[in-house]
Structure 1
Amino acid sequence: MAEVSDDTRHLYDLFGVLPGTTATADLLRAVGATRVDAGLGELLSSRLAVLVESADRPLRYRLHDVVRAHARQCARALPEERWRSLLRLVVDFYADAAAHGDALVLGARFRIQPPPVRPLAELGVRKALFTGGADALEWLDAERDNLQAVIRVAADEGWHQEVWRLCESLWALYHSRKHLADCVESGLLGIEAAQHEARPDVEIRMRNQVARAAYELGDLDRAESQLDAATGLLEPAGDPRLSGVVWESRGLIALARGRSEATPRAVGERAEEARQLFERALAANRAVPDPHGVVVQSYNVAQALVAGERWTDALGVLDEAAEVARATGDEPMLPRIDLVRAQAFVGLGSLDRAVAATVAAADRAASLKQLAKLDQALELLAALADRAEDRPLRAACEEKLRELRRNMGLEPPAAPPA
């Protein structure tokens, strides 16, 4: 390192402090680096760092593995107070950035943490880190590994508020991109952080996030265990929306158990159980009132009605939910509503309207970069094409599914029978 400038040497030390493996110029400036562009250029030309490029994501820089190990040794040689203060700047940068990203991706959903003090414009030097929900979701996904590393380090340092703030904000990423193992790992750390701070409201939210991830992974018993623990905290937490959150998750589990039941009667009973739970969650959100919560729980009620083969009732609920979503700018809920609407049309035997609703869901999900919902829409559209004996449409959907799932790191769909 003797051949580089002092500013570049300082930048090198900062790389050693970072919990993750990559950094943007904005992050490095946020932790006090100067002459960042020149220093990064010097690290690149000295072959100490490499550029991680992507067509649709900001430039990121990474030290070579051996170099990074050396940089971390050098950083650990800094005075303890200096090292911790730099690390705290990194954690605070990510906590604020993730909160802004969550707000753009999921809008006015119920959150426990207050909005970040620093405006988004302060986190980016030349331009904002992201603009709009789709852009924010891409930023969160690009920073995914770094964010997980930051949560682990914050937990190790005992920065409990930052741990649960990050976990709450990252629901926008976990739910939209289905990084379910990450959600479980960070959620368990969030539970510990909430317990350290004696925050039953936060613990309910963290346990619910772990429960939702377990539910989507098919581990319904683990999901219910987390919800049982959360239920015991509802009275001291106080906020009725937290009760709604727990009832919602219990309703989803009831629907999942219904799908595995052997008889139509059992399926119907589970659907009715879920509907009642969602109705309780809906009432809790109307009492606040929380417009986003009203839309979400109305959508869930419609899911239960579809499961109970009450197709026309479901469409009425969905129309009301869509009207509220449009009036309040709750765009992320519209593709979800369209997907359930399509299922109701299938139940009524209206294949053309089902296809139209599914295409609308796919278009909206793609524009918002909600890849998990886009996957569901394409899968449903392929099934509808199969029913209509439209082989070109089915082939096109399967090709898009293969490409999407490769990009998401998922398995491609099984080949149809010959």
Structure 2
Amino acid sequence: MRFQVLGSLAILRGGHTERLTGRLERTLLAALLARAGKPVPVEALTDALWGDRTDPRTGQRLQLTVHRLRRKLGEPDRLSFGPAGYRLRVRPGELDAERFESLVGEAVEGARHDPRGAATSLRGALDLWRGTPFAGVDLPALDDWTHRLVERRLMALETLYESELACGRAAEVVAELTTLVREHPLRERLHALLMTALLRAGRPADALAAYRTARDTLEAELGLGPGPELRELERRILMGEPAKGKAAAAEDTERAGARTARSAVPAQLPLNVRAFVGRDAELAELDGMVATTRAAIATVAGTAGVGKTALAVHWAHRVRERFPDGQLYVDLRGYDPDQPVSPGDALGGFLRALGAALPQDPAERTARFRAMTAGRRMLIVLDNARSAEQVRPLLPDSASCFTLITSRDTLAPLGAREDVRPIRLDRLPPADAHRLLRELLGARATAEPAAAEALIGQCVRLPLALRIAAELIRSQPDLSLADLAGELAERQGALDLLDIDGDPYTAVRPVFSWSYQRLDPAAARVFRLLGLHPGHDTDAHAMAALAGHGLPETRGSLDVLLRAHLVDRGADGRYRQHDLLRAYAAELAAATDPAAERESALSRLRGHYLYAASAAMAIFAPNDYAPRPKVPPPDGPRSSFAGYDDALRWLDAERANLLDATRHGDPAFVTRISETVALYLRVRGYFDEAVTLHGRALEAARTIGDQMAEANASRVLGTMMNLSGASPEDVNAHFRRALAAYERVGDQGLQAYVLSSLACVRLRLGELTGALGQFERALALNGVNGNWRVRCAILVNMGRTLRTLGRLDEARNCLESVLELCETHGDKSVEANTHCILADVYTRLGQQAPAFEHARRGMALARETGYRQIEAHCLGKLGTLHRQRGELTQALHLHGENLALARAVGETELLIEALNTLATTHTAAGHAAQALRLHGEALTLATVAGERVAQAHSHAGIAAVHASLDERDAARSHWRQALATYEAVGLPQATDVRARLDELDGRDGE
């Protein structure tokens, strides 16, 4: 028997076709095939057949329709009824859609190595296609499946013609590709294949005509120009170069040093699991998914403590070589006692690992993540997920990536919209539980077989409980397995009444309880306090603060917990707990320790974090625009740092915990942490964390009525939002609130700083002259003897503005006065920024020697201070200087590094500049396609952010590319748009653009 859904629905049996002419029969069969082999509830079927039009006879009508379908099937047992609903049995290979997807998956996987065989397989798969899937069936539940099948067909067609071209059959496939392009005019890949086929068939003129057709269609239908692949093909045709595939073109670009913004290759997997046993069937199933590429998403669901994370991590380490573009991992903490990880925060970690910028909007983060992973062979492990909603934004939109999700829940809603392969992980089979015990205990497990059997039963065959029990035995040579099994039996009896529906937590609590009771009082207290810690991991200093003990004593207790498997320690030396153990620890703390004592412990922890952060910042960035809070030393151990690198390591390691600690508790602590680490978050480019923290600080300050804290929070929040490209209106609202508050408290220095910040927003809008006047007013308000750090900030921004306006001598004098202040006060970060801008000033003055000197000095200081934005700017300045020397390979390399770092930092102005400068270098190197793509991205970003001058620079760059290709109309259009802004703002670039337009007009008149 065969079932056909690729076209109109049909059943093939006995050599003839059973067509389903009635709507009810077709809908019923489609609904059953959508869940082939699985029961479909009666309610779902009646809803599919009649919707809201049900009546008391609906059940009888369904039975009649089922009866008619059974007659068409010819095998009554094919369609059975049970408690869960109706089930249609479909054997492997009987459903044409399944065969189609299998053939396509195998052919796509082998196309690179065997294009001839792939072409044969793909033509066989495409022969199964008879039309739109489920034609004549109106059932919304089928929409996702239909869409996926249609996309797979298009992918199959594209891979087919790539394979045919690889086999040298260019002339033979031109006609077929021409028809396909006519049917799918917006599919750029098909246009590219047609152009390639025409070029290889010796028809370059026709290939250019095909490009123009594609360009005109895309512009008319979408308002967009051709993408980079089509533009690169056009460039090759115009240059007389042979047509190359995507891989060859990429190799050429890399060989020239022109790969732009190469994404990082992350390796985020946790340490592999010790003494992993069993799970052969599950591992084989995962291996099969990767080998066939038929499923890009798999879920591992099972009860807590059953070993889901261990399986995922163990398998990921086994197959990591299959994912050369990297492995991403996140513990979503879906069942932690505290707050789960939000999709936005998880995406922030992924994007940072990939070297990408972090948009503030969660939807934009998802889009950026999917763009960064598209076409890359990556493994993504989403551990401990709570719900489908938590993981759906984290799924890549590329069949080249494989996503493995672990959860206590089956995440069924995910499968309704995504192609997901579920794996159910049960408790260890008895044989594997015995193997694990033997791995952990050796001969002691085999010496007492009956006791081992009982112990395995009391641990309900959960690996977590077995490991803890085994450690109890290992640590006490005089304790027999029988003794432990007997004790656990007694404890289990006392807890049986609490064991609801086999909840693993109540089932393994006797093991936890026995292990906990064997601890000495100090270690037991530290274990309970781990349940109070607000973060996901911690170090010994923080635990000492929580406990109120000395560091040696706390480390001793943590070592006891490590040996008992009640806490884990990662390669970074930080301590983490399984969520079941953490929940148990929190429960014990609530039941054992008085509320006042628990609050006292958390207060000590907050004091530790505030003091340590203050000490680290005193080394990392001793100077700030506003005085930082004065923090008294804690009563217990005090954190100290050997130097700059040590302080920065601590800040990076504890960044998440500092934010977690501000979710609850003392509002004054929230405001003080915000004021303490604001400059760290800014310099390191952690914009998303900064906006979260400073937003909390603003609410906390209002709660306690602290006007100064409210002003500080508004100031730093506005600054970070401005850097990350938030709307000028929202940014200005924060700055104006801060200005009003500083006026009320009488702080002229910070009033001047906020006036300067408001002027920076005017720079974004292209109001350069007005901004310059506002900088001058801010400088006068601060006074010559006012806040020197604020004075530096104002002078730096004045220097930037004067440079942009072309008043280069004034800019140089202004910036050199900043260097004098930096030398007096020893501020290396401001000095790095100033050198960077001076490098640009001297470049524009045509003085390359001092320009190089300032750029290199700025680079050295930026790296010394960890100021990634300035490091990126300096890379860009050095690249421009090499371009002016004609050293294009070096310029491309430096500008590529500049863009990669700019994407990682996420500062909008920096990213736009990096895109435009790299594009300009590509133009100089004759890489028109790359230049247009980069300028186009810069123009989009500048338009969204309201960066008016950057928009003009992007238009000017695009015009230069079109001029290099002798596309005069396009060049003229973009230069005119750039000129309008340059003239309105009063920039010197207007003179050059007018000259270029005059030159174009002169060439037209020739």
Between the aligned partners of 1:110 and 1:120, the Cα distance in structure 2 is: 30
Between the aligned partners of 1:290 and 1:60, the Cα distance in structure 2 is: 40
- Where does the alignment leave 5 or more consecutive residues of structure 2 unmatched? 1-515, 931-1006
1:50/1:398 CA distance change after superposition, 3 Å: farther
Confirm or deny: 8 A CA contact 1:295 1:324 kept in the other structure: yes
> Aligned-pair distance for 1:149?
0.5
The letter for the 2-side match of 1:335 is A
User: What's the TM-score once normalised by structure 1's chain length?
Assistant: 0.85
Q: Secondary structure at the match of 1:12?
A: helix
Confirm or deny: 8 A CA contact 2:629 2:675 kept in the other structure: no
Confirm or deny: 8 A CA contact 2:832 2:861 kept in the other structure: yes
1:267 equivalent in structure 2: none
1:246 to 742, 754, 759: 754
1:241/1:410 CA distance change after superposition, 3 Å: closer
- 1:355 equivalenced with 2:869 (yes/no): no
The range that moved more, 361-370 or 95-104, is 95-104
1:143 equivalent in structure 2: 654
Confirm or deny: 8 A CA contact 1:134 1:368 kept in the other structure: no
1:337 to 834, 851, 854: 834
The letter for the 2-side match of 1:91 is R
Between the aligned partners of 1:243 and 1:397, the Cα distance in structure 2 is: 39
Q: Secondary structure at the match of 1:20?
A: coil
The letter for the 2-side match of 1:62 is R
Confirm or deny: 8 A CA contact 2:739 2:755 kept in the other structure: no
1:349/1:52 CA distance change after superposition, 3 Å: farther
The range that moved more, 9-18 or 393-402, is 393-402
Confirm or deny: 8 A CA contact 2:799 2:814 kept in the other structure: yes
Q: Secondary structure at the match of 1:109?
A: coil
The letter for the 2-side match of 1:12 is F
- 1:86 equivalenced with 2:601 (yes/no): yes
> Aligned-pair distance for 1:408?
6.5
The letter for the 2-side match of 1:45 is R
Q: Secondary structure at the match of 2:575?
A: strand
1:65/1:311 CA distance change after superposition, 3 Å: farther
> Aligned-pair distance for 1:141?
1.8
The range that moved more, 165-174 or 396-405, is 396-405
Query: In the TM superposition, what are the counterparts of 1:402-417 in structure 2 within 5 Å?
Result: 417=927
2:686 equivalent in structure 1: 179
User: What's the TM-score once normalised by structure 2's chain length?
Assistant: 0.37
1:388 to 870, 874, 885: 885
The letter for the 2-side match of 1:172 is L
- 1:226 equivalenced with 2:730 (yes/no): no
1:16 equivalent in structure 2: 531
Runs of 4+ in 1 over 6 A off after TM superposition: 405-415
Deviation string, structure 1 residues 89-118 (Cα, Å, up to 9, x no partner): 111111122222233333232435542222
Confirm or deny: 8 A CA contact 1:341 1:357 kept in the other structure: yes
Between the aligned partners of 2:676 and 2:739, the Cα distance in structure 1 is: 22
The letter for the 2-side match of 1:313 is E
**Equivalent residues, number:** 395
Deviation string, structure 1 residues 339-361 (Cα, Å, up to 9, x no partner): 11112122223334323222211
Q: Secondary structure at the match of 2:536?
A: coil
> Aligned-pair distance for 1:2?
3.1
> Aligned-pair distance for 1:366?
0.8
1:10/1:408 CA distance change after superposition, 3 Å: farther
Query: In the TM superposition, what are the counterparts of 1:130-279 in structure 2 within 5 Å?
Result: 130-153=641-664, 157=665, 159-219=666-726, 220-258=728-766, 270-279=767-776
> Aligned-pair distance for 1:63?
1.8
Between the aligned partners of 2:849 and 2:583, the Cα distance in structure 1 is: 59
1:40 equivalent in structure 2: 558
2:569 equivalent in structure 1: 51
The letter for the 1-side match of 2:684 is R
1:76 to 561, 571, 590: 590
> Aligned-pair distance for 1:234?
3.3
> Aligned-pair distance for 1:300?
1.8
Between the aligned partners of 2:756 and 2:586, the Cα distance in structure 1 is: 44
Between the aligned partners of 1:170 and 1:349, the Cα distance in structure 2 is: 40
Between the aligned partners of 1:18 and 1:366, the Cα distance in structure 2 is: 34
1:393/1:47 CA distance change after superposition, 3 Å: farther
Q: Secondary structure at the match of 1:48?
A: coil
Between the aligned partners of 1:90 and 1:121, the Cα distance in structure 2 is: 11
Between the aligned partners of 1:185 and 1:152, the Cα distance in structure 2 is: 10
> Aligned-pair distance for 1:181?
1.5
1:8/1:405 CA distance change after superposition, 3 Å: farther
The letter for the 2-side match of 1:351 is Q
The range that moved more, 406-415 or 203-212, is 406-415
> Aligned-pair distance for 1:7?
2.0
Q: Secondary structure at the match of 1:254?
A: helix
- 1:305 equivalenced with 2:802 (yes/no): yes
The letter for the 2-side match of 1:145 is A
The letter for the 1-side match of 2:749 is R
Confirm or deny: 8 A CA contact 2:541 2:637 kept in the other structure: no
Q: Which has the higher helix share?
A: 1
Q: Secondary structure at the match of 2:783?
A: helix
1:119/1:391 CA distance change after superposition, 3 Å: farther
Between the aligned partners of 1:120 and 1:242, the Cα distance in structure 2 is: 34
- 1:376 equivalenced with 2:873 (yes/no): yes
1:64 equivalent in structure 2: 578
1:364/1:101 CA distance change after superposition, 3 Å: same
Which is greater in Rg?
2
Confirm or deny: 8 A CA contact 2:753 2:794 kept in the other structure: no
The letter for the 1-side match of 2:807 is R
Q: Which has the higher contact order (CA 8 A, sep 6+)?
A: 1
Q: Secondary structure at the match of 1:17?
A: coil
2:198 equivalent in structure 1: none
The letter for the 1-side match of 2:659 is Q
Deviation string, structure 1 residues 126-159 (Cα, Å, up to 9, x no partner): xx2x244454233212211001011112xxx2x2
1:163/1:2 CA distance change after superposition, 3 Å: same
Confirm or deny: 8 A CA contact 1:105 1:136 kept in the other structure: yes
- Where does the alignment leave 5 or more consecutive residues of structure 1 unmatched? 259-269
> Aligned-pair distance for 1:404?
5.3
Q: Secondary structure at the match of 2:606?
A: helix
> Aligned-pair distance for 1:168?
0.7
The letter for the 2-side match of 1:37 is R
Between the aligned partners of 2:831 and 2:737, the Cα distance in structure 1 is: 32
Q: Secondary structure at the match of 2:790?
A: helix
Deviation string, structure 1 residues 286-341 (Cα, Å, up to 9, x no partner): 35522222222221221121122211111111111101111111122111111111
Q: Secondary structure at the match of 1:108?
A: coil
The range that moved more, 130-139 or 183-192, is 130-139
The letter for the 1-side match of 2:798 is V
The range that moved more, 179-188 or 36-45, is 36-45
Provide the alpha-carbon RMSD of the alignment: 2.8
- 1:103 equivalenced with 2:625 (yes/no): no
1:261 equivalent in structure 2: none
Between the aligned partners of 1:399 and 1:196, the Cα distance in structure 2 is: 47
1:292 equivalent in structure 2: 789
Between the aligned partners of 1:119 and 1:108, the Cα distance in structure 2 is: 23
